[in-house]
Amino acid sequence: MRTLALWLVTISVGLVTQANEPLWTDKERATKRDLVVDGRIISAKSIGVLKNYKWSELWSAEVKVLAMQKGDPKLVGQTHTVYFERGAPRKGGGRWVRCPGYADLRPGDRVKVFLRRCTESHLKRLGLPKDSKGALFLEMGSDCKALGGDPAGGTAPVRAGPQR
């Protein structure tokens, strides 16, 4: 019985580790996204629980563009709103989790984000007004990587353990 329990724990840890591995290289990911931006998170706030997705909240972050790796270089130095999903609070504390993990963007984080522009179907799913077409969003947590000098020690923006 002890051997079975140890085996199950080992398999579980392996699956969780593998699940957080990137699906694509940065080059592959960049071809699938509209913009690739190096930036600093200025602020982040919850907009509310997503319709039909009670375990996810829609958040917005103000991102100051430090460098453009794909997209219009005129955006460097500007601040833009980026929408992203995050686990909703759970009864008893903590937040819902998923695989791959939700982005956990916090003010001060330096990040590389692979962004998409919202289409009408994205706006509908996210509950954003129709005039928000073209708004930027982070499709999944793995579309965001910490840059050196990150206050979270280089582990942001998908942090292990309970999200606050």
Specify the pLDDT at position 22.
Answer: 56
Pair 37, 69: CB distance under 8 Å: yes
**What six digits make up the tokens of 40?**
């600093």
pLDDT of residue 18: 47
pLDDT top residue among 5 and 145: 145
Does pLDDT of 5 surpass 70? no
Per residue in 88-105, pLDDT (tens digit) is: 777 777 776 766 677 888
Lowest mean pLDDT among 43-47, 84-88, 94-98: 94-98
Count the Cβ atoms, other than its own, within 10 Å of residue 11: 10
Domains and CATH numbers, the chain: 23-146 (2.40.50.120)
pLDDT at site 70: 94
C-alpha neighbours within 13 Å on the C-beta side of residue 35: 25
The helix (H) or strand (E) run that includes residue 110 is: strand 110-117
State the Rg of the chain over Cα.
17
Identify which has the larger pLDDT, 132 or 112: 112
What pTM was computed for the model?
0.74
d(CA 69, CA 30): 9
Confidence (pLDDT) at 2: 62
